[in-house]
Each structure stands twice: as structure tokens, then as C-alpha cells.
A and B are shown apart, each in its own frame.
Chain A
Amino acid sequence: MSVLVFIEISEGAIKKSSLEAVSFAAGFDSNVTAIAFGEASADSLKIAGKAGASKVLHVGDTKYNDGNIQAYASAIAKAADSIAADTVVLANSSLGDPVAARLSIKMNASLTSNVIELPDTSNGFVVKRSIYTGKAFAQVNLTEGKRIIGIKKNATTIKEDGADASVEAFSAEDSTDDFKVKILSKEKATGDVLLPEADIVVSGGRGLKGPENWGMIEDLAKTLGAATACSKPVSDMDWRPHHEHVGQTGIKVAPSLYIAVGISGAIQHLAGVNSSKCIVVINKDEEAPFFKAADYGIVGDAFEVVPKLTEAIKAING
């Protein structure tokens, strides 16, 4: 048996969520190979070894730089075949999910996503996954001989004690059918901590009154090395970009720490953040529903509390 892990590259480095996927795979199989696409140095790829992979197959052809869903699915299927992998593991993401779906048909594999625990193989291949947008879990048996598992972000810790992985070029057999979709351009926030990957998230709601007040949210985020986020009305009013909006209809995040400032905690907002390990709520209304979902709460005016909090964190960080 061997496991293949699809790892995503962002700005030349393996994404944190992909290292989580590698560590997850290494947690139930000692023979882990990874596959990566597009421009990346061998040095940046061998890091996958620390997380538990012994080898990285690299599809370096620049045609694969862009994240083409169909082409990736075809190449991963070919790689899985070449190493006789019965399991493919990947991180749930806006690329991983659609790739996994097509791949499952190509490989005749069982597919499940949002997995949060290592499989139980004592009777079948049973995984625990999050359902109802974090409100419940399901134990699911993957009944086919081959399977694809999507790992929920931050559901697992990254191993760091492995040796460097060997890196091998892998040539994907491309068919023109796989490149029918043309990716014309990408717009991506750079430099900042990316929200879906962030370990700490500082989020602001309508309580902040206007975009001009986001400076204090950004200061707090910067002090913590955190990403910034917002509630839906905030992005609807264009106070913040759409890709910062978290919740049922926005991005779902599961950071170690989620700090909500001036957000009421409507159920649709909670749906996107309720998998966070620790939730801090700052709201001037002691009746705000968010306090029920929080681990720590402060009833107070954001305009007074947030700058004080930033100073207090700076103080302990020296």
C-alpha cells in the first residue's frame, strides 16, 4: 500500500495546509509520496520530507503553473497509478476540492472531505468528517479499494521530524482536453497572512462603523501575525474585500484563535468560524449571541478595548 499526497505551492513554497495533509498521510502509512505542480525549487519541495513524505514527484512544466483543475486531476491519477497508490490525500481548498471530485471518478475511488481524524482501519476504512457546516460529525466508511481523503484545515498538526524528501521530475501526459479551460488572470493578495491558511484571525463586523476604522483591526492582526477577516455586511458594503468575508456564504476558517470584534454572532457567521479552537469576542452588547459560542469575552467598546489589547500583546512580546 502507498499513499499519494497532492501538495499545493504558493509563491514557491508548500502551503501549510498541504504539509498538514502530508503529516496526516504519514500518520497512517509509512510510504508517503507527494506530487507538486508548477514552479518550485527542489529545495522548497524536499521540505515535504520533514512532514513525512519520502519522495516528491514534481510536474515542473510551466503549463501546470496555473492550477488547472482537469489537468491536475489527470496528472495525479497517472502518478497514483505509477506508484500503485490506493489512497490520495489532499488539503480541502478551492483547488483541492474540485480536483478531488474529478480524480475520484478517474480512479474509481471513494471520496470524502472535511476529514478531521486519522482513519480507523480495524473494520473497513472509517474516517470522521465534519458535516452540517461544523455543527455535527459523521463516521464514514470508504467502501472502494481506492479512496481520496480531503483534510480539513488545521485539523492536524504538522510533523517536523522527518528527513528531506527526494525530488523527482514527473511528466504528466497532457491531453488538449485537459486544457480546455483558459485561466486568463489571477488577482491575489500578497504579502499579508492569507486568511484560509492563518493560525490566528482578527475579524471585524458592522460594529466598527466604517472602513476608516479598520486600522486598529490591522494593527492587532499585525501584532499577532494574524490574518484579517470580516462579517458579510462589511464586505457587502465594500468596507473590506469579498475574500475576507467569513461564514456560511463566505470562507470557512478553523484557526487556533479567532478574535471577533463588533460582530453579533449570527448563526450564518458562526457557521464559518465555529471550528476555531479558541474564540474571543469583543462586543459592547452583553446580550450579543456570539458570547454563547466564545471561550473568552469582553463586554466593551471596540474603540477602547482593541488598542489596549494590541498594547498588552506588544508588552508581553517585549
Chain B
Amino acid sequence: MKILVCITHVPDTTSKISFTDGNTQFDKTGVQFIIGPYDDYALARAVELKEQSNGTITVLNVGEAETEPTLRKALAIGADDAIRVNANPTDSYFVANQIAAIAKEHQYDLILMGRESIDFNSGAVHGMVGEILGIPSLSPIMTLDIDGTTAKMTREIEGGKETLEAELPLVLGCQEPIAEWKIPNMRGIMTARSKPLNVVEPTDNSVRTQLKEYQMPPAKGAVKMISADNVSELVNLLKNEAKVI
């Protein structure tokens, strides 16, 4: 089974977010970048499936040279090779087009990625790739089992989950508890250095959205502390000040 795992290169969850150049650029100063947490789940499940089926895993990132350490980490976790599409990932449509072009060329049985990236939170790339390729796309996927060419999955729905079945090829946006994150071991880190990381240029440069400006939320007012002996004061404030009950 040939699996493609698409990974995002995103600021660590705990990063403080700020912008420069008149609020048009993300400020990378002091920010640590990681594999997108949802993509990490997708990769972890891919590694398990590869072990069961003798498959191969290619990891793909649309990003500039600075994302290569993130791709190397994915190789250390268990991917066999990596592709970097050398471009700044400007919008979901642009990224989906690059992924679809690579997928058409290499014919994967399964294309996995996270349900959304944690920077733009659009959750759109998997669906766009599925539609461009004319194959089913499903998200958010919580469990995935493959039997021959049939995939059985559970998908989160509001207040519960649904069980689904479909034939490969498929595009899936993943989330927990699909697998436990894998931490690269020493051997993985060593072998990752010599695994192929191919850089290709983007095929289609069209975008459908244009970022005008970033904004920060207004500063949070100070918390109002209420004594544990005076709970009715809290109820009073919720009713008459915050007007939420």
C-alpha cells in the first residue's frame, strides 16, 4: 500500500502569536515550528498501517526550505521518503492543487493528513484534494482500519460518531484517537538523514483568497475574583453584569 501523508509546518501550540510589517507578516522570532499536531496523528497511523501491509510512506509538505527539519522529523518517525513543494503555502486552494498534482503523478492508495492545520484552521485541504482527484474525502476521522482495499472508519459528528466504509483510494483528515503519536528514536533520526527528500517546484500558482491584514484580539480585562463563601455574588454578576444566565 502506498500512503501519502501531508504535513504542515506550524508554530508550536504554546507559541505567542505576533505580527510584523504593518500586521501583514507572521513574526517567526523565537517561535519553534513543529509537525501539525493533527498531521502527527495521521503520520502515526500511517506508520502502523505500513507495518501491517508492507507499504511505503511518502511525506509531503508545501513550504520553503525552512520546513525541511520538520520533514526530516517525519522521516525519523517512519516515512520512507519526502517531497517538498518549494513554495510559500498561501491558501488552502494553492496547497490542495500541489498535493493533487503529486498524487496524480504517484497514484497513492491512501492520502492522509490532519483534520486542519493549527495556524489557519481551515480544514479544507483534504476535501479539496478529494474533489480535484474525484475520489472520496472524509474528515474528521477518529479510527481507520484497512482490510484489502476496503477502509473502515469512524468519523466525528456533533455529539457522537458515525461508522463508515469505502474503497481505496481515499483522502482522510485525521484526528485523535486514530493512533498514539510516535516519537523518533535514535535509529530513526540517524536513518532519516540519508532518506530521499525531493524538492519540486509548484505546478499551478493560482490562489483564491488574499490575506489583507492580521489582527490581535483586544487585551483581556483582569479576572474578577469572588470569595468561595459568596457564591451568590457570582450568580448576581453572571446575571446582571455579564448577562449570560
Which residues of chain A have a CB within 8 Å of any CB of chain B?
Answer: 10, 15, 66-67, 69-70, 73, 93-95, 97-102, 104-106, 109-114, 124, 126, 128, 130-144, 177, 180-189, 192, 194-197, 200, 224, 242-243, 248-249, 256-257, 267-268, 271, 277-278, 280-281, 291-301, 304-305, 308-309, 312-313, 315-316
The distance in angstroms between the C-alpha atoms of A114 and B236, with both chains bound, is 32
User: Which 5 A-B residue pairings sit nearest by Cβ, starting from the closest?
Assistant: A101-B127, A300-B228, A188-B160, A105-B131, A257-B244
Within 8 Å by CB of B124, from A104, A140, A242, A278, lies: A104
Residues of A within 8 A of B124 (CB): 97, 100-101, 104, 111, 113
Q: Which of B92, B165, B209 has the most CB of A within 10 A?
A: B209
The interface bits of chain B over 176-207 (1 if a CB of A lies within 8 angstroms of the residue's CB, else 0) are 11000000000000000000000000000001
Within 8 Å by CB of A312, from B221, B235, B244, lies: B235
Q: What would 26 A/B residue contacts be, using CB atoms closer than 8 Å?
A: A69-B136, A69-B137, A70-B136, A102-B130, A105-B127, A111-B92, A111-B208, A113-B121, A132-B11, A132-B118, A140-B209, A187-B163, A196-B159, A200-B244, A256-B244, A257-B238, A277-B244, A278-B242, A292-B223, A296-B234, A297-B223, A298-B231, A309-B234, A309-B235, A312-B231, A316-B235
**Do B221 and A184 have beta carbons less than 8 Å apart?**
no
Residues of A within 8 A of B96 (CB): 105
**Do B136 and A180 have beta carbons less than 8 Å apart?**
yes
**Do B120 and A187 have beta carbons less than 8 Å apart?**
no
The distance in angstroms between the C-alpha atoms of A192 and B120, with both chains bound, is 32
A-B contact count (CB 8 A): 260
**Do A280 and B234 have beta carbons less than 8 Å apart?**
yes
The distance in angstroms between the C-alpha atoms of A205 and B226, with both chains bound, is 20
Residues of A within 8 A of B132 (CB): 105
Chain A, interface SS category: mixed
List 11 extra interface pairs beyond A184-B162, A267-B13, CB under 8 A: A67-B157, A94-B155, A94-B158, A111-B92, A112-B209, A131-B121, A136-B17, A181-B136, A183-B164, A197-B158, A296-B242
Could you tell me the distance in whole angstroms from the C-beta of A289 to the nearest C-beta in chain B?
11
Could you tell me the distance in whole angstroms from the C-beta of A67 to the nearest C-beta in chain B?
7
Q: Contacting chain A: which of B45-53, B67-75, B80-88, B211-219?
A: B211-219
Known A98-B138, A104-B128; contact A200-B210, beta-carbon cutoff 8 A: no
Task: Count B interface residues, CB 8 Å.
Answer: 77
Residues of B within 8 A of A102 (CB): 127-128, 130-131, 137
Residue B61 at the chain A interface, CB threshold 8 Å = no
Could you tell me the distance in whole angstroms from the C-beta of B238 to the nearest C-beta in chain A?
7
Could you tell me the distance in whole angstroms from the C-beta of A218 to the nearest C-beta in chain B?
16
Within 8 Å by CB of A139, from B37, B120, B212, B244, lies: B212
Which residues of chain B have a CB within 8 Å of any CB of chain A?
Answer: 11, 13-14, 17, 19, 37-38, 92-93, 96, 118-128, 130-132, 134, 136-140, 142, 155-167, 173, 175-177, 207-217, 220-221, 223-228, 231-232, 234-235, 237-239, 242, 244-245
Within 8 Å by CB of A113, from B118, B122, B140, lies: B122
Residues of B within 8 A of A296 (CB): 223-226, 234, 237-238, 242
Could you tell me the distance in whole angstroms from the C-beta of B143 to the nearest C-beta in chain A?
11
Residues of A within 8 A of B165 (CB): 181-182, 184
Name B12's closest neighbour in chain A (CB-CB).
A267
Known A104-B128, A182-B166, A267-B13; contact A189-B160, beta-carbon cutoff 8 A: yes
Name A226's closest neighbour in chain B (CB-CB).
B245
**Do B161 and A97 have beta carbons less than 8 Å apart?**
no
Within 8 Å by CB of B17, from A132, A192, A280, A281, lies: A132
Known A73-B131, A113-B123; contact A291-B223, beta-carbon cutoff 8 A: yes
The distance in angstroms between the C-alpha atoms of A106 and B132, with both chains bound, is 9
**Do B237 and A136 have beta carbons less than 8 Å apart?**
no
Within 8 Å by CB of B226, from A138, A187, A268, A297, lies: A297
Q: Which of B11, B224, B245 has the most CB of A within 10 A?
A: B245
